[in-house]
Amino acid sequence: MNAGDLVARFLKAIEVDTVFAIISVHNIPIMDGIAREGGIKVVTTRGEMGGAHMADAFARISGKLGVLISSTGPGAANAVSGLLEASYSGTPVLHITGQVPAKYLGRDTGVTHGVKDQLGMLESVCKAAYRVNTAEEAWGILTRAAQEAMAAPAGPVSVEIPIDVQKALCPEPPFKQVDLRPASPMLPAPEALARLADRVARARRPMLWVGSGARDCGDLIEQFLDMGFGMVSSWAARGIVTESHPMNLGAMNGSGCKDVEDFYQDVDLMIILGSRLRGQETVDQSVQLPTRRVQIDIDPAAEGRTYASDLFVQGDCREVLKALLAEPGNRPAVDEGFRAAFTEMKQRARENYKKTLGPYSDFAEQLRSVTPADSLWVRDITVANSTWGHRLYEVYAPRTAAHPVGGGIGQGLPLAIGAAFAAKGRDTVLLSGDAGFMMNVSELWTAQQEGIDLLMIIMNDSGYGVIKHMQDAGFGGRRVYGDLDSPDFEQLARCVGAAYVKVSDKNKLAAAVGDILPLGGLRMVEVDMGVIGEAPPYYPFLKQ
């Protein structure tokens, strides 16, 4: 068999059922092998950038490995944006790309799709990147790459295979199922665990800050909430415990929320679980977290990376929590009244935050009232997302939300398409701005061709709203280069056979979404912000 066929067999062996790909001159043997092998859904995307984001979101929602197949040179470069986002979000993505014939590597001969250092380019945005030099080593390198992508801290891994190697014959390897799970989870050191247990036992007003590194710990975290712990999550970790839980603030994690920041000062222990405490959420670590902090993370490089902590415990978050719960003596005697104070603060913080949103103050509640509890919530970077989309729209289950963790605009539509392939009958809801939506609008035809169910809510303010707020705050209100002509979204919807409705009344979002959601297929709701009103600036972009 040739190495292209081997790639197809390998993907079957690791139980991949969906790949996102563009067929091109330097990957035809791989794509031909997948077609002849059968049993794998190939989503033919309109661009490698979109395909990379789709593979990312598919992995985030499904919990499985995302797979992207791209071409060489410009094709691999197009994928960089999505691979970088997968690195930001810690998503396991296996990127398989072609390469020019081996005899041309590094020679700058002008061969089609040749680049100076494709492997170096991919290494710069991935957890790792490898080249297959012979057909015989393909199976081993692919196995290593897939296992490395899945191993915590997860991330994207690229494998490039020169076109002549793809065509080369090799003996059939022993085709058996390949287990990508780690052999055993990382346990905490006993001394560090003992020190952590002592701090927990002495806490009287404790909280958890939960990041995506604790994505699979919801059942254990709920037990801590039952003891009286409060909880807040990063934007990437939403729904690990239902945000309707009275002791879960969700993503109301402090930035621009004085009620939350003030409450932090009365917390005597914050346990940070698998989170970077990213600058976007902490305004570059200026949010005043509780003074006493401990950090649990599987990655030793996480220690002190953003906020300092009194204690760092390296280990799998789930194993650390299980060990703490195993000993009744580790249970804190939470102060009487802490639970009531926390739940009252949560409600007060939400109400006060809503007051900053002008005509959009109840958009989250309107939308949540008509969307199914198990629907997927995917957002692009837009003012609506950075305000009510992140903080007020409640998420009720893990692996039901996704957004560009790295803050890149235009990634929402392909993320939503990838999420829809992992939805398994659930609705997928996208919140996007008009400018971001147009950046990858070609992927709308991928959605149309594949017949997916997707509700798209487009907040149309004819430009870059958040940039205008930054210009107001720091550049004397000189709003330059931020206005854009929007397309006729109704005509755009018609082009792909999508149902369409425009909302021009701030009180009618729920009614519009409630009417269009049951139709299935592609559906588009345009919110006319020119009529409803400009979104108010959000912290930290308030005018000084």
Give per-residue pLDDT as tens, 421-474.
999 999 999 999 999 999 999 999 999 999 999 999 999 999 998 899 999 988
The average pLDDT across 475-488 equals 93
Instruction: Indicate if 366 and 325 belong to the same structural domain.
Output: no
Q: How many CA atoms lie within 13 A of 171 on its CB side?
A: 2
Three-class secondary structure of residue 117 per DSSP:
coil
Three-class secondary structure of residue 284 per DSSP:
coil
Instruction: Choose one of 335, 350, 365: the last residue of a domain.
Output: 350
Instruction: Indicate if 435 and 412 belong to the same structural domain.
Output: yes
The residue assigned the tokens 């198990």 is: 374
d(CA 357, CA 491): 30
- The answer, yes or no, to whether residue 544 has pLDDT greater than 60, is no
**What pLDDT sits at residue 416?**
98
- pLDDT-based confidence at 106, cuts 50/70/90? confident
Three-class secondary structure of residue 18 per DSSP:
strand
Q: How many CA atoms lie within 13 A of 135 on its CB side?
A: 19
Query: Does some domain include residue 178?
Result: no
The average pLDDT across 84-107 equals 91
- The answer, yes or no, to whether residue 297 has pLDDT greater than 80, is yes
pLDDT (tens digit per residue) in 334-370:
999 999 999 999 999 999 999 999 999 999 999 999 9
Query: Does some domain include residue 181?
Result: no
Q: Which residues contact 82 (CB under 8 A, 6 or more apart)?
A: 48, 49, 50, 51, 52, 53, 54, 55, 56, 68, 93, 411, 414
d(CA 501, CA 499): 7
Three-class secondary structure of residue 486 per DSSP:
coil
Q: Are strands 428-433 and 376-379 parallel, antiparallel or unpaired?
A: parallel
The average pLDDT across 221-235 equals 96
Mean pLDDT of the chain: 94
Query: Does some domain include residue 544?
Result: no
Specify which residues 430 forms β-bridges with: 378, 456
Instruction: Indicate if 267 and 361 belong to the same structural domain.
Output: no
Instruction: Indicate if 341 and 195 belong to the same structural domain.
Output: yes
Q: How many domains does the chain have?
A: 3
Q: What are the backbone angles phi and psi of residue 209, rounded to the nearest 5°?
A: -105, 115
d(CA 84, CA 52): 9
d(CA 143, CA 145): 5
The average pLDDT across 372-394 equals 95
Instruction: Indicate if 332 and 407 belong to the same structural domain.
Output: no
Q: Which domain holds residue 451?
A: 356-532
Query: Does some domain include residue 437?
Result: yes
Instruction: Indicate if 317 and 379 belong to the same structural domain.
Output: no
Instruction: Indicate if 241 and 161 belong to the same structural domain.
Output: no
- The answer, yes or no, to whether residue 100 has pLDDT greater than 60, is yes
Instruction: Indicate if 263 and 147 belong to the same structural domain.
Output: no
Instruction: Choose one of 328, 350, 372: the last residue of a domain.
Output: 350
Query: Does some domain include residue 537?
Result: no
- Longest Cα–Cα distance of the chain, Å, equals 74
**What pLDDT sits at residue 114?**
79
Q: Tell me whether the omega of the peptide bond preceding residue 540 falls within 30 degrees of 0, making it cis.
A: yes
- The answer, yes or no, to whether residue 283 has pLDDT greater than 70, is yes
Residue 395 DSSP class = -
Q: Which of 160, 88, 153, 162 is nearest to 121 (CA)?
A: 160
**What pLDDT sits at residue 16?**
97
Query: Does some domain include residue 272?
Result: yes
* CATH number, residue 74: 3.40.50.970
Query: Does some domain include residue 152?
Result: yes
Q: Which secondary structure element, helix H or strand E, spans residue 11, and what is its range?
A: helix 3-13
Q: What are the backbone angles phi and psi of residue 454, rounded to the nearest 5°?
A: -155, 125
Instruction: Indicate if 201 and 113 belong to the same structural domain.
Output: no
Query: Which strands make up the sheet holding 66-70, listed edge to edge?
Result: 41-44, 18-21, 66-70, 93-99, 157-162, 128-131
d(CA 276, CA 349): 24
Instruction: Indicate if 364 and 511 belong to the same structural domain.
Output: yes
- pLDDT-based confidence at 543, cuts 50/70/90? low
Q: What are the backbone angles phi and psi of residue 321, rounded to the nearest 5°?
A: -65, -40
Contact (Cβ atoms closer than 8 angstroms) between residue 298 and residue 169: no
* CATH number, residue 229: 3.40.50.1220
**What pLDDT sits at residue 181?**
80
Q: Which of 32, 51, 47 is nearest to 94 (CA)?
A: 51
- pLDDT-based confidence at 176, cuts 50/70/90? confident
pTM > 0.85: yes
- The answer, yes or no, to whether residue 500 has pLDDT greater than 70, is yes
- pLDDT-based confidence at 174, cuts 50/70/90? confident
pLDDT (tens digit per residue) in 50-60:
999 999 999 99
**What pLDDT sits at residue 375?**
98
Instruction: Choose one of 167, 199, 227: the last residue of a domain.
Output: 167
**What pLDDT sits at residue 13?**
94
pLDDT (tens digit per residue) in 24-52:
999 999 999 999 999 999 999 999 999 99
Instruction: Indicate if 362 and 341 belong to the same structural domain.
Output: no
Instruction: Indicate if 160 and 220 belong to the same structural domain.
Output: no
The average pLDDT across 252-259 equals 90
d(CA 285, CA 506): 35
d(CA 541, CA 474): 8
Query: Does some domain include residue 173?
Result: no
Q: Are strands 454-460 and 376-379 parallel, antiparallel or unpaired?
A: unpaired
Percentage of the chain exceeding pLDDT 70: 100
Q: What angle do CA 383, 20, 403 make, to 5 degrees?
A: 20
